[in-house]
Amino acid sequence: MLSRLFRMHGLFVASHPWEVIVGTVTITICMMSMNMFTGNNQICGWNFECPKIEEEILSSDIIILTITRCFAILYIYFQFQNLRQLGSKYMLGIAGLFTIFSSFVFSTVVIHFLDKELTGLNEALPFFLLLIDLSKASALAKFALSSNCQDEVRENIARGMAILGPTFTLDALVECLVIGVGTMSGVRQLEIMCCFGCMSVLANYFVFMTFFPACVSLVLELSRESREGRPIWQLGHFARVLEEEEDNKPNPVTQRVKVIMSLGLVLVHAHSRWIAEPASEGSTLEIPKSASGLDESIPRRIDPEVPLWQFYLSRMGSMDIEQVITLGLALFLAIKYIFFEQTETESTLSLKNPMSSSLMHTKNTDCCRNNIGTTRLQSNCPVGDEFNSKENTDEVIKPIESFVPHSINRTSKFVLGDFTPPSSSSSGTPEELDTELLLEPRPIEECLSILKNTEKGPKSLTDAEIILLVNAKYIPAYKLENMMETPERGVFIRRQLLAPKLPEPTALHLLPFRDYDYSLVIGSCCENVIGYVPVPVGVAGPLCLNGKEFQVPMATTEGCLVASTNRGCRAISLGGGARSCVLADGMTRGPVVRLPTACDAAEVKAWLESSDGFQIMKEMFDSTSRFARLQKLQIALAGRNLYIRFQSKTGDAMGMNMLSKGTEKALSRLQEEFPAMQILAVSGNYCTDKKSAAINWIEGRGKSVVCEAVIPAKVVRETLKTSTYSLIEVNINKNLVGSAMAGCLGGYNAHAANIVTAVYIACGQDPAQNVGSSNCITLMESTGICNEDLYISCTMPSIEVGTVGGGTNLRPQQSCLQMLGVQGASKETPGENACQLAEIICGTVMAGELSLMAALAAGHLVKSHMTHNRSKLNLQDLPGSCTKKAA
């Protein structure tokens, strides 16, 4: 119950850092402002001159006091060093400094608010510093730093509060009760000092439970890159933080002793304050009254006759020797800490069991706009250049990756330090990985039990341990995305498994894998994923088609293609636009079956061609889908083999899976009619899919589309820079005669496959189907009153497209489909979006044909490609290169 309350408190503090910090400061300011209603706001030695106590001060007392002050300063110095070992020289140190300052101010304000006067501030400061324990900050910071995103920061701070909060609370209570005993001594100065000590402990507890975790959460929040909310820092110092939670849990015996001790001290305080105090109540009240009449016992305010700066400068110049020693030591350690100490890589991972890490070195390599570090462990590998660049020493939170020999281990965590960040789409190879502790993977049996544990699971295992389980065949490599807590981690681990097996371990450097929704890929688009390939997407348009304008996305790496298609779109628009229509719509699947004899095969063929046989097959086929509707069967016989070409509408899907499912069900019914029939394959290449085939060219497959346009002679001359006669001549001799001479099947065009493939990749279609989909015949002839205008048409009988399923489920591809207004299934008419996409493709192909043929007719093809489709950067970098820009 208590841990749950502290967990809720930690989650609230980490989730609202600004509110907590502002609230703490506001409370302090409010209490300071309320001091005007109290009588004593005097701190002797600073702004008041207090009466001297007539007693001899021994030299030994001065020496002891000076040593105490020096010990207090050294104690705080080493506390800051421990904080710095968490990875940052300043970040957490500044947070700790603010915490100490806030604790001191808050304690002083509370003392004044309670109407107490602090007459020994010089003696109080060392006492206060010795009470500060920054190890609490170190312990709590470890939980925050073992996260890989801001949400995990909050959860881990809450978990740290749940584990450490009760211990901190009990420790603060015991300290207050022990120090509070001094307030019953009867010695006024000691009572004030102990009261100040108690308030310091409580204030320190309050600030560390509110101010410090809020500061840590805020620092990590402000240190992330605003890039879709993803952090740019990764922490590698605390791979075993979750294991250390058990070590951080308090010893039950110690806790029991503290509780018993606290109860005893509470009884002592109760007896002294509520039982023994009334007996002496009369005498205690007389002392202030008698003392109030003595002017010499009242602190006198100092009113300097010189300017304040000169007054305080003179006061500082008149410091005693012990004050000079103390101040000198403090300045020396501050200068040493800030300017002369190098960042240490050895980190204290536990308050009880410190662990050290080996010093790493970094090798910087430019990769696009990011630097990728190469590291080697000093203890096991030869060390090259040390990482000591001055320009890379800015204190920011940056990502690092981990590297463990023989099993690459990347633990995505926060770190504060001076390291160069890898790319946001880092490769996952050893060369990009940065510093981390050399941690041995746990035994396979232990890792296996953690993996099977529903509460822990793979998120409690390091990458090295996951790789160990994969190599031991406990985790199938192809199931990594499904078995990890996130698919992206599964992809990253597969890259680590693959990198050492490649001819070049850095081969995956430039292949991105981050920031991708793999949930849409798994089980649908790809297997054994190691990343994705970004392809440039251009836009051609507007394409005026059937009275509508379309901006057509094209994904390609061929220069001039988009520009040329865009020019063709402009020419069509200037000519009044194009028209198109769908001639046929039917996807096909052609299985092959075998009968005992050729005559048996002929009998089956005759039954399928009969109306009764077709109706039986149609009923079985149509029952498998609400969109699949069998249109016709085309049967061919070769010996005793029978090839049956099923043709069906498939709605807005491309439909191959739909056809396969329906075909399989229909064949099972056919086998009931002819038990001797043997199904050899559900696809017998009579479809025909992804192969150049005359049957697709003649019978059509998918969407059969024709598109036409008239381009005025003026547009041909001014936009296309040629003449109608030249275009017709080139089209006849190139696209018709030339293709016939080459024996082309459906290749009576200039470059239809260019446009089809570019649109297919952009819109999530199957790029391999450009083989059949690019079947196109381009015809040109003169028209108009003077026969100077150009009539152009493109007929494409086998465009295989869909707007649902497959790659159309991916977000970027959906974006491109949305550009065309055809994303998803049509709500009004099933199949309308897919047909619209086929018409847009045919119209874009016609625009590309028009522009390319014009460039050929005008002799501009080579010139334009030399200008726009040739990489000159690599050539110019070669020694002795004299590459010149094309005119």
Q: Catalytic site residues?
A: 558, 690, 766, 865
The rounded distance, in Å, linking the Cα atoms of 257 and 663 is 79
Residue 763 tokens read as 């819109």
> Which element (helix H / strand E) includes 148?
none
Query: Residues 511, 492: contact at Cβ < 8 Å?
Result: no
Task: Return the number of other C-beta atoms located less than 10 Å from residue 848's C-beta.
Answer: 30
The rounded distance, in Å, linking the Cα atoms of 748 and 211 is 76
Cα dihedral 141, 142, 148, 149, rounded to 10, equals -20
Residue 397 tokens read as 């939170």
Query: Residues 218, 14: contact at Cβ < 8 Å?
Result: no
- CA end-to-end distance (rounded Å), the chain: 80
The rounded distance, in Å, linking the Cα atoms of 753 and 772 is 9
C-alpha distances out from residue 629 to 597, 662, 839, Å: 31, 9, 22
For the four alpha carbons of 764, 767, 769 and 772, in that order, the dihedral sign comes to: positive
Q: Which residues pair with 363 in a beta bridge?
A: 374
Query: Residues 163, 249: contact at Cβ < 8 Å?
Result: yes
Alpha helices in 548-655 (DSSP H): 561-574, 598-609, 611-622
Q: Which residues pair with 13 in a beta bridge?
A: none
Residue 680 tokens read as 């050899």
Query: Residues 514, 488: contact at Cβ < 8 Å?
Result: yes
C-alpha distances out from residue 458 to 429, 461, 481, 622, 696, Å: 21, 5, 11, 45, 50
Query: What does the DSSP assignment read for 98-127?
Result: HHHHHHHHHHHHHHHHTT--B--HHHHHHH
The rounded distance, in Å, linking the Cα atoms of 544 and 846 is 12
The rounded distance, in Å, linking the Cα atoms of 161 and 140 is 7
C-alpha distances out from residue 528 to 479, 494, 531, 535, 806, Å: 8, 8, 9, 20, 17
Strands (E), 234-273: none
The rounded distance, in Å, linking the Cα atoms of 510 and 20 is 43
Closest to 403 in 3D by CA, of 239, 622, 607:
239
Residue count of the chain, please give it: 887
Tokens 């044909």 locate to: 849
The rounded distance, in Å, linking the Cα atoms of 553 and 44 is 79
Query: Residues 425, 512: contact at Cβ < 8 Å?
Result: yes
Residue 734 DSSP code:
I
The rounded distance, in Å, linking the Cα atoms of 581 and 7 is 66
> Which element (helix H / strand E) includes 65?
helix 59-84
Closest to 681 in 3D by CA, of 641, 719, 651, 708:
641
Task: Return the number of other C-beta atoms located less than 10 Å from residue 444's C-beta.
Answer: 14
φ/ψ region of 374 (left if φ > 0, alpha if ψ in -120 to 50, else beta) reads: beta
Residue 775 tokens read as 């079947």
Burial of 873 (0-12, 13-18, 19+ CB in 10 A): exposed
Cα dihedral 577, 581, 586, 590, rounded to 10, equals -70
> What is the tally of helices (H) and strands (E) in the chain?
31, 15
